[in-house]
Amino acid sequence: MSDDLIARVRACQLCQAALPREPRPIVQFHPTARLLIAGQAPGLRAHEAGQPFLDASGERLRTWLGLDKTQFYDPSQVAIIPMGFCYPGRAASGDAPPRPECASTWRVPLLEQLTSVQLTLIIGRHALNWHWPEATDLTHAVRAGLNNNRQALPHPSPRNNVWLKRHPWFETDILPPLQQAVSKAIGEQS
């Protein structure tokens, strides 16, 4: 069932006409994953490489989580399911928002099969709206820390350095318990 589903995701051309490049859905998925990373949409580098978070954002995210590349890219442990699966192109500042067709078509059936997830990491406003709809402010959601097996995160992009500088509590107060929770989530096997 999941093999068939992921094959259909990878073959998706649903919003091809609205994308700047050929569709290349980038999802890391296995039903046994215990950590879910819910981000925005792949950037151009991820689109070209066919793998998410290969850039400076990914390096910083792995540091935040205390994971090396082998752990991070192990689909049996870590699922990476953004709000949009294909590179959406550029907007006036940064990348365009994720295509809405993707979430409405694919995220529900994929998430339904992730029955072992212990912790969900939410990156960005679009993912926050989906995974924590009561949260009205991203910074407040980040500051709330671990909440109902969810943790909201600022985007790890170097473009977000100003936010990190303005909110030093993120590194001192949020990251240590988060790293413990990540280690527990992927270290405990059912």
Contacting positions for ligand SF4 (CB under 6 A) = 12-16, 23, 25, 84-86, 99, 101-102, 105
Name the minimum Å distance from CB 79 to ligand SF4: 16
CB of 154 to ligand SF4, least distance (A): 24
Q: How far is CA 146 from the centre of its chain?
A: 16
Smallest gap from residue 8 Cβ to ligand SF4 (A): 10
* Cβ(44)–Cβ(26) below 8 Å: no
Residue among 1 and 11 whose Cβ is closer to ligand SF4: 11
Q: Minimum distance from CB of 24 to ligand SF4 (Å)?
A: 8
- Say if residues 46 and 55 touch (Cβ distance below 8 Å): yes
> Looking at beta carbons only, is 129 or 179 nearer to ligand SF4?
129
- Please say which residue, 25 or 154, places its beta carbon nearer to ligand SF4: 25
What stretches of 20-170 show up as alpha helix (H) in DSSP? 44-49, 56-65, 69-72, 100-102, 108-113, 125-131, 138-143, 161-166, 169
| CB atoms closer than 10 angstroms to residue 84 | 26
Instruction: Give the Å distances, CA to CA, from 180 to 119, 132, 146, 174, 183.
Output: 11, 21, 11, 10, 5
Tell me the residue number closest to ligand SF4, measured at CB: 102
Q: Closer to ligand SF4 at the Cβ: 11 or 92? A: 11
Instruction: Kindly state the smallest distance separating residue 139's Cβ from ligand SF4, in Å.
Output: 28
* Distances in whole angstroms, Cα of residue 35 to Cα of each of 65, 122, 160: 11, 11, 24
Q: Which helix (H) or strand (E) holds 187?
A: helix 175-187
For ligand SF4, the closer CB: 96 or 175: 96
